[in-house]
Structure 1
Amino acid sequence: MTDTLTIPRPDDWHLHLRDGDMLKGVVAHTAEHFARAIIMPNLVPPVVTGADAAAYRDRILAALPASMTFEPLMTLYLTEATEADDVAQAHASGLVKAVKLYPAGATTNSQSGVSNFDNVQGVLERMAEIGLPLCVHGEVTDADIDIFDREAVFIDRVLDPLRKRVPGLRVVMEHVTTADAVAYVQTDTSGNLAATITTHHLIINRNHILAGGIRPHYYCLPVAKREKHRLALRAAACAGDERFFLGTDSAPHTDAAKLLPCGCAGIFTAPNTMSCLAHVFEEDGALARLEGFASRNGPAFYRLPVNSEEMRLTRQSEPVRYPELVETGAGNVTVFDPGFDLFWRVGP
């Protein structure tokens, strides 16, 4: 049995850091393990312009402990008022690495998202011209569509027609949760489509949320699906397919916000993601492919170099201990509990 693994320092291609006291309380947990991360722009107000992104990047770097190195990769929030020229300028400056599409009302702070896709056609066409990826939260929000079907319906009703209208657009389907999404990526031959998979969707299915009582700390959007979908995600992640890579969607909310009668969606996985992933890949006999999933496939799609710094993971005989919660100035945040002991430790 392998007990050590050395890989290029990984990146997180989908991350929520929030702002203010929450940002200050959580950013170090990502920077401890990850060299770079695609930063989600769904603040209040959202990060819409290049100037917004520059200011947010400065706040992230100011919150980072002086001893840590970390590069936030900034994104813009696509609205129906987004200007193509501003997007192109922000990309040309090197500041912005992607634009994020939230269907209006799909998830946390998505009220400013897109309802009429005709109104963003010009922006998408400019993005295709300059090679700027569109990161997609792939769910419809129609009230008559079951929450467990919203990803599959989004592919048919929204994503596939959109990609046909703008065939050169580079798209990342973020936090895919279904066998339908996996198959859609796997059958694409354009080279312009990829998908991120979260740590928690590799581990939990909808029973973890609902069976035997409601567990709000496992509630996220897109919501975890049936076991057959979780297994499809694990097969895709562990197969070595370069179109799939890690995006944790680590999304901190205070425990008070998670435990409300209408609690927030999001799971905070930043502290223990790499230990969880090593467990999953080892369990599936694919430990050698963790490097591709966590360290190589994402940079390849985003046309960035692989990190030169390395990370060492060591399998120890006693479980690794992670805190149950992280204290922030905004309130306590519960750390994801995978439901099993973790034996892979990050570090020397």
Structure 2
Amino acid sequence: MVDEIVIDSPLDMHAHLRQDEMLRLVAPLTSRSWAGVMAMPNLSPIVDSPAAAVAYRAAILEAAKEGSDEPFEAYTTLYFQTHYTRDFLADAKPHILSIKFYPRGMTTNSSHGCDPADPGVYDVLASMEELGIPLSVHPEAEGYYHDREELFGKFVRDWVRRFPKLKVILEHLSDRHSVALLDLPNVHATITPQHLMTTGNDWFGPPFNPHLYCMPCVKRPEDRDALLQACFSDHPAKIMAGTDSAPHTEDRKVACGCAGVFSAPIAIQLYAQVFASAGKENMLQAFLSDNARRIYGITPPKRTVRLVREPFAIPSSYGNVIPMWAGGTLEWSIKA
């Protein structure tokens, strides 16, 4: 049994750091254990220009200083819009890591999203392919909530057929049917802790647990098992850590049912528990860092995170945000 795991420069390639007061809470909690994070652009207003991306990165890095003196990087994204021109994207490329596609109305702050069948989408994708800008996707289409990710697969297949050099990253993979999309040469994915560790019974109950409710929702045991198999044997080089850590205040989670699981401060330990339980500790470095470096072509800040097999009590809250499995105990702790 392995009792210590050392990770070089862990990267969270999908996280929601929010803005203003919530950013000031979340960014330090993130920078304490991660070397870098890719921040999503669904703010208010949305991040839809190079200037907005630069300003958001600066705000993240400033807030993150309160969490750690260790090196930390914030990678930013643009919110996909059909009016982006090639020249606009060329100007934006040095300041972003990807462009995030939100289907309209499918998740938090997605009212500015696009119809994936809109012909205008193709023009933007063609320019992204030419310029080598990756496409990050929230892969859900209109339909019964449990089937939305599977239903989006037809758009992914169409885009990959039309744009074979476009790098596509399926965010927060949750469905066993979507795993087959990783067979396509230019498709990659991020996976969250909750989708690897829980099933629909854990959030739907009884009793209902709003702090495990997210979009796409956690699904059947067969879906969880397919994701684990994809990580460990079927597609290990194509999958990265992406927590989709998405904080909401406790009142909004409980009263409004806002979608999002907050895991940023404990996510590395959660992933370690998944991999160690399967005897796959040797694959954790690639999942938490190496794959992202290769897929996105980045060199993160040098940083070492040491995990030891010691119980860690998850706080009941971080400020006014309730984390995943609040009050529970993890098998792994992070040591300085």
Compute the TM-score of the two structures, normalised by the length of structure 1.
0.92
Question: What is aligned with 2:136?
Answer: 135
| 3-state SS, counterpart of residue 259 of structure 1 | helix
- 1:182 corresponds, among 176, 179, 191, to 179
| 3-state SS, counterpart of residue 88 of structure 1 | helix
- 2:312 corresponds, among 320, 324, 341, to 320
Q: d(CA) in 1 for partners of 2:327 and 2:240?
A: 23
Deviation at 1:9, TM superposition (A): 1.9
Deviation at 1:339, TM superposition (A): 8.7
Question: What is aligned with 2:299?
Answer: 305
Runs of 4 or more, structure 1, over 4 Å off, are none
Q: d(CA) in 1 for partners of 2:284 and 2:118?
A: 36
> Are 1:231 and 2:248 counterparts?
no
Q: d(CA) in 2 for partners of 1:54 and 1:73?
A: 10
Q: d(CA) in 2 for partners of 1:202 and 1:76?
A: 27
Question: What is aligned with 2:245?
Answer: 250
Q: How much identity, in percent, do the aligned residues show?
A: 37
Deviation at 1:219, TM superposition (A): 0.5
> Are 1:43 and 2:35 counterparts?
no
Question: What is aligned with 1:206?
Answer: 200
Indicate how the Cα distance of structure 1 residues 273 and 69 shifts in structure 2: closer, same or farther if over 3 A, else same.
same
**Match runs of 1:34-73 below 5 Å:** 34-65=34-65, 67-73=69-75
Runs of 5+ consecutive residues of structure 2 not aligned to the other structure: none
Deviation at 1:237, TM superposition (A): 1.9
Question: What is aligned with 1:334?
Answer: 322
| 3-state SS, counterpart of residue 45 of structure 1 | coil
| 3-state SS, counterpart of residue 74 of structure 1 | strand
Question: What is aligned with 2:86?
Answer: 84
Answer whether contact 1:320 1:344 (CA < 8 A) is retained. yes
Deviation at 1:323, TM superposition (A): 1.4
Q: d(CA) in 2 for partners of 1:41 and 1:95?
A: 13
Question: What is aligned with 1:271?
Answer: 265
Query: 1:179-216 deviations in whole A, cap 9, x for unaligned?
Result: 1111220x22x2x2100000111111111111222111
RMSD: 1.6
When structure 1 is superposed on structure 2, of 164-173 and 247-256 the one drifting more is 164-173
Q: d(CA) in 2 for partners of 1:95 and 1:65?
A: 21
Answer whether contact 1:10 1:307 (CA < 8 A) is retained. no
Answer whether contact 1:200 1:338 (CA < 8 A) is retained. no
> Are 1:290 and 2:284 counterparts?
yes
Q: d(CA) in 1 for partners of 2:322 and 2:289?
A: 26
Q: d(CA) in 2 for partners of 1:311 and 1:214?
A: 34
Query: 1:263-305 deviations in whole A, cap 9, x for unaligned?
Result: 1000000011111111111111111111111121111100113
Q: d(CA) in 1 for partners of 2:89 and 2:192?
A: 27
The one-letter amino acid paired with 1:13 is: M
Answer whether contact 2:30 2:64 (CA < 8 A) is retained. no
Answer whether contact 1:271 1:322 (CA < 8 A) is retained. no
Deviation at 1:171, TM superposition (A): 0.4
The one-letter amino acid paired with 1:74 is: T
When structure 1 is superposed on structure 2, of 52-61 and 38-47 the one drifting more is 52-61
Compute the TM-score of the two structures, normalised by the length of structure 2.
0.95
Answer whether contact 1:82 1:120 (CA < 8 A) is retained. no
Answer whether contact 2:85 2:127 (CA < 8 A) is retained. no
Question: What is aligned with 2:153?
Answer: 155
Question: What is aligned with 2:164?
Answer: 167
Indicate how the Cα distance of structure 1 residues 212 and 339 shifts in structure 2: closer, same or farther if over 3 A, else same.
farther
Query: 1:119-174 deviations in whole A, cap 9, x for unaligned?
Result: 12222111111211000000002xxx211111111002x11112212222110000
The one-letter amino acid paired with 1:155 is: G
| 3-state SS, counterpart of residue 323 of structure 1 | coil
Q: d(CA) in 1 for partners of 2:333 and 2:232?
A: 20
| 3-state SS, counterpart of residue 250 of structure 1 | coil
